[in-house]
Structure 1
Amino acid sequence: MPERTPRTRMDDLTVERVLRVVEAIPPGRVAAYGEVGAIVGVGPRLVGRIMGTWGSSVPWWRVTNASGDHPLLARALPHWQQEGIAVKPNGLGCRMKDFGADLERLRAEAAPGLAELEEDDA
């Protein structure tokens, strides 16, 4: 399969692709903006912008920075407690080695929803 050029625009399809990947992050796990972006083919900053604008409809508390820190930790904390995600000693987020999603599994779980979007776009 040929390698795709990363999408840099925030079009409707890109937004929906990011949201579908975030929906596929399992409870009790997190994924970094860059990891979500790598699956979709966009950069972490675009993922952050999409999450900030449209992320309220998906489990936004499962998306962190690469260090596991969450910009809205106070709001995410009740969700994390419910899902068993522990805050690391610095109080800024969680340990990615303990709570990071298995990226191959995440890619596989997100694949059907992403394929559906590609079919609709064709």
Structure 2
Amino acid sequence: MDARRELIVERVLRCVELVPAGRVASYGAVAAICGIGPRQVGSIMRHWSDGLPWWRITNSSGDLPPALLERALPHWREEGIRLKPNGLGCRYADYAADMGELELRWLEATRDLPDPDADDLDASA
């Protein structure tokens, strides 16, 4: 993996780590904070989310695919996230993390990382 890709992965994973217990963030919200697209966030989560609170990242409706939802439910119960009546996920409006606060915490948490768009990033790797 090239240095730029590694840096993007690290930035996304740090954002995911910062979503508070009992709250969720959408792929799009994480993407907006990290400066990438929601599908990139999904791909990163699919490959590198072991050991992270992956169950806190949902689509913009608060839903997860059935297989992920089944695995997420014990975590949600423990954190007080309740299923909405249709059983597909949680009510995003009720459980969404404060995106302004999340972004501020993420900026602090990634202060030590170089800019992924820097021209000399790959040269320093």
TM-score over 0.5 (shorter chain): yes
Distance 1:101 1:30 in 2: 6
Among 7, 12, 34, the alignment partner of 1:13 is 7
Deviation at 1:118, TM superposition (A): 2.4
Letter in 2 for 1:110: W
Displacement, 1:94?
0.4
Work out which of the residue numbers 93, 96, 99 in structure 2 matches 1:103.
Answer: 99
Structure 1: distance between partners of 2:85 and 2:54? 22
Map 1:59-74 to 2 at 5 A: 59-71=53-65, 72-74=68-70
* SS, match of residue 82 in structure 2: coil
- Kindly provide the amino acid, as one letter, of the partner of residue 6 in structure 2: D
How many pairs does the alignment contain? 112
SS in 1 for 2:112: helix
Ranges of 4+ aligned residues in structure 1 off by more than 2 Å: none
Secondary structure of 2:111's match?
A: helix
Residues 26-71 of structure 1: CA distance to partner in whole angstroms, max 9, x if unpaired?
0000000000000000000000000000011211000000110012
Name the % identity.
55
Q: Which has the higher contact order (CA 8 A, sep 6+)?
A: 2
Aligned runs of 1:12-51 on 2, under 5 Å? Answer: 12-51=6-45
**TM-score scaled by length of structure 2:** 0.85
Question: CA shift at 1:80, angstroms?
Answer: 0.3
* CA distance in structure 2 between the partners assigned to 1:117 and 1:93 by the alignment: 34
CA RMSD of aligned residues (A): 1.5
Q: Give TM-score, length-normalised by structure 1.
A: 0.87
